Structure 1
Amino acid sequence: MSRISVRGFAVASATAVTTVGAVVGVASGNTQPSNDLEATAAGTTLLTDIPVGEQAQVQTASLTQQADAQAAAADTAAKKSAEEAARLQAAKDAKAKKEAAEEKAEREREAKEAEQAASRSAARDASSFSVQSSYTVEQVKAIARQMVPADQFQCFSNIVNHESTWNYRAQNPSSGAYGLVQALPGSKMSSAGADWRTNPATQIKWGLNYMDSRYGSPCGAWSFWQANHWY
């Protein structure tokens, strides 16, 4: 029951008491009402002061206020519940998106590794090339393209271009470094073949193995070369 309704019933009770007190006072010769009742009457709007036809309207308005308050509270609770549900869903979506991105990155990494492995397995060995008495730069590059993995060729080419400009007979007069990759000493390349002095395929084989074992790949060797101008 609202404040208006409660006060209305309290006023009705106070009115009844006031009426009884007045009768008793007259009977006893005391015509002065008690101070307590005066204070009650003075501080309260009596329900009986409201016309009888409007009393039901006042009580109906009180009930309407209660219903409105309850509806507002329900709306607030529903809004909070919806906001919390939205927050949880957003967190769930973000997690799913992150997992999907990680999964995609992993698939791409695996695909790249598989591609690199296929490229390496497809590379020809030095022994598969016919030996010639001499080779042009273009012929040497063609051999390298068939021996070096496709994704590593540019890095390999960058190093060879700086070291020997693709001259398989290049020799450093001061250090004695020799060949396409300027092995020091040149005789190191004998581990790849006895014809290391005259066969560019043998030199490429040795150079590729050297870059892979020391730097992980020709691109790893090229990164080191750029920082130090040697490898």
Structure 2
Amino acid sequence: MLEGNRVSRISVRGFAVASATAVTTVGAVVGVASGSTQGSSTEPAEATAADATLLADISAGNQTQAQTASLTQQADAQSTAADAAAKKSAEEAARKQAAQDAAAKKAAAEKKAAAERAAKEREEEEKAAAASRSATRDADDFAVQASYTVAQVQSMAREMIPGDQFQCFSNIVDHESSWNYRATNASSGAYGLVQALPGSKMASAGSDWQTNPATQIKWGLGYMNDRYGSPCGAWEFWQANNWY
């Protein structure tokens, strides 16, 4: 009988180890074994208690393993999500930086191009001004005559005044003397094409200032450039004040 109890105990333990989820079936087997030998020995009761403890330990262990696995899965999922978020953030930052770099590069290129255009325009203007200056003639380039017609005086002025300034110079002379190089203002004493006051000022351009319109044109151009920056600057002032 003792040997039979030992076999039952081994069988129950083996079954418990094989399957932790078959608790009901194992309990029924243990109950039958215990009922058939009730009162004959304490060993079956001890076996039943030990088997129940083993089943409880197995169940608790399975629950712990399940909980650990669940936590591990959650941690892995969170880690994967964090990695994905970090990757997305890095990609977005890289995209923004690339866009900023491209915009800065474009702005720098446009600024450089604008500066180059401005420099080229200034260079062309300077060349044009130099060409205009080199094309103009000086008062000494004209042969001295006893008298000059209005057409001759105007022709001399065209050759002495830069092309872009001639019309402004002509406008002033039209109002001041009507191209009469001997014009004299009886009340003020102003004299010549540009009505210098006093007329003797024009001696700085040549001693023949009274009779040579080229000398008067030379002095008048110098005066307008020095005082107003150009004949057009002088004409602008004249229109606002009726004198210059």
Q: What TM-score range do you get, normalising by the shorter chain?
A: 0.5 to 0.7
SS in 2 for 1:130: coil
* Contact residue 163 and residue 180 of structure 1 kept, 8 A: yes
Give the letter for the 2:150 counterpart.
V
* Contact residue 129 and residue 201 of structure 1 kept, 8 A: yes
What's the offset of the Cα at 1:201?
Answer: 1.0
Give the letter for the 1:186 counterpart.
G
Equivalent in 204, 210, 223 of residue 197 of structure 1: 210
Equivalent in 192, 204, 209 of residue 179 of structure 1: 192
Q: Deviations over 1:17-65 (max 9, x none)?
A: xx8xxx8xx839x9xx9xxx9xx9xxx9xx9xxxxxxxxxxx8xx9899
* Contact residue 116 and residue 151 of structure 1 kept, 8 A: no
Spell out the pairing of 1:1-231 with structure 2 (5 A cutoff). 27=49, 70-71=83-84, 74-231=87-244
Q: TM-score, normalised by structure 2?
A: 0.63
Q: How much identity, in percent, do the aligned residues show?
A: 63
Looking at structure 2, the residues matched to 219 and 110 of structure 1 have their Cα atoms a distance apart, in angstroms, of 22
Q: What runs of 5+ residues in structure 1 fail to find an aligned partner? A: 1-15, 48-58
SS in 2 for 1:150: coil
Q: What's the Cα RMSD here?
A: 3.9
Runs of 4+ in structure 1 deviating by more than 6 angstroms, as ranges, are 62-69
Q: Tell which has more relative contact order, 1 or 2 (C-alpha 8 A, sep 6+).
A: 1
- Number of aligned residue pairs: give it: 191
What's the offset of the Cα at 1:75?
Answer: 4.0
Give the letter for the 2:132 counterpart.
S
The structure with the largest alpha-carbon Rg is: 2
SS in 1 for 2:164: helix
Q: TM-score, normalised by structure 1?
A: 0.66
Mean CA deviation greater in 202-211 or 149-158: 149-158
Looking at structure 2, the residues matched to 205 and 118 of structure 1 have their Cα atoms a distance apart, in angstroms, of 18
Looking at structure 2, the residues matched to 132 and 180 of structure 1 have their Cα atoms a distance apart, in angstroms, of 17
Looking at structure 2, the residues matched to 158 and 88 of structure 1 have their Cα atoms a distance apart, in angstroms, of 55
What's the offset of the Cα at 1:144?
Answer: 0.5
SS in 1 for 2:220: helix
Looking at structure 1, the residues matched to 176 and 49 of structure 2 have their Cα atoms a distance apart, in angstroms, of 133
Q: What runs of 5+ residues in structure 2 fail to find an aligned partner? A: 1-19, 28-47
Q: Deviations over 1:122-153 (max 9, x none)?
A: 21111221233333322221110101122222
Looking at structure 2, the residues matched to 121 and 152 of structure 1 have their Cα atoms a distance apart, in angstroms, of 15
